[in-house]
């Protein structure tokens, strides 16, 4: 899904589509690594606080992503 809109993002940021090639790994690496974190956090804090904290972080990063004006900022704050 992400690969299909990379060209549009590149157009928006005024760069080549290959310049945003890190979009997919920047999403998949944290996506694969975070279960190692969520399990112990869920055991320690419970589901509700972790889910609400994740929702808040996702919402904040999504808003921050819309404010990104350079590809590096976009890659840095894009929520996983």
pLDDT of 74 over the 80 cut: no
Q: How many other CB atoms are found less than 10 A from the CB of residue 71?
A: 19
In degrees, rounded to 5, the angle at the alpha carbon of residue 80 between the alpha carbons of residues 36 and 29 is 55
Tens digit of each residue's pLDDT (9 = 90 or more) over 4-49: 777 777 787 787 777 777 777 777 888 888 889 889 999 999 999 9
Residues 6+ apart with CB under 8 A from 7: 17
Distance (Å, whole) CA 45 – CA 50: 7
Q: Pick the closest to residue 6 from 52, 21, 45, 64 (CA basis).
A: 21
Residue 14's region, left for phi above 0, alpha for psi from -120 to 50, else beta, is left
Q: Rounded to two decimals, what is the model's pTM?
A: 0.63
């Amino acid at each position: 899904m992400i690969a299909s809109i990379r060209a549009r993002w590149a157009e928006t940021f005024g760069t080549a589509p290959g310049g945003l090639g890190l979009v997919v790994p920047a999403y998949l690496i944290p996506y694969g690594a975070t279960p190692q974190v969520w399990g112990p956090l869920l055991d320690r804090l419970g589901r509700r606080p972790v889910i609400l904290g994740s929702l808040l972080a996702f919402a904040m990063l999504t808003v921050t992503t819309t404010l990104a004006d350079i590809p590096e900022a976009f890659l840095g704050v894009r929520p996983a």
